[in-house]
Structure 1
């Protein structure tokens, strides 16, 4: 290691010193959000995508080990945007393509209206959905 390498390592851990001091050994997403400024929703999205700090799930409760939070954040300290782009590049382009496809599936798509002109039933909003029962009638 050169003197520049040790200086960069010290620079990388310095911003995380206060975070490390404030974290408990195991932290909930709310505690991580309060200490780090990362939103709870961002942590949830990272968990679903398989990125970000590794976590422990006990029942329904998610916990982040202190070491994993510090490791994840220290791996993502960059000098420039170009360096950050290189750091986030996926090894497998197929993996990235599948993740993008999954994200596109969540988008709501409109279903076009049917235009049946051969039927005698009106095509207004009252007949658009089949209720499956006898609404409005009493036995």
Structure 2
């Protein structure tokens, strides 16, 4: 029996947790947390103690990196 391994690209939903953003960007959860404390990285919101990222904010942040290079 052959095992099929799927490589699925991570995607973002409209609202994302820090681990979801980490999987999408390849940036560790710890780095995202540190950047949030330093005012760096993508914009986020806090809801009920959870840190959440809007898809549009993550993509805008990624676009801003390209422009800054």
Which consecutive residues of structure 1, in runs of 5 or more, have no partner in the other structure? 1-17, 85-139
Higher relative contact order (CA 8 A, sep 6+): 2
Higher strand share: 2
Aligned ranges for residues 32-51 of structure 1 at < 5 Å?
32-51=21-40
Q: Quick one: distance in 2 between partners of 1:72 and 1:26?
A: 15
Aligned to 1:25: 14
Gaps spanning 5+ residues in structure 2: where? 1-8
C-alpha RMSD of the superposition: 1.8
Match of 1:67 in 2: 56
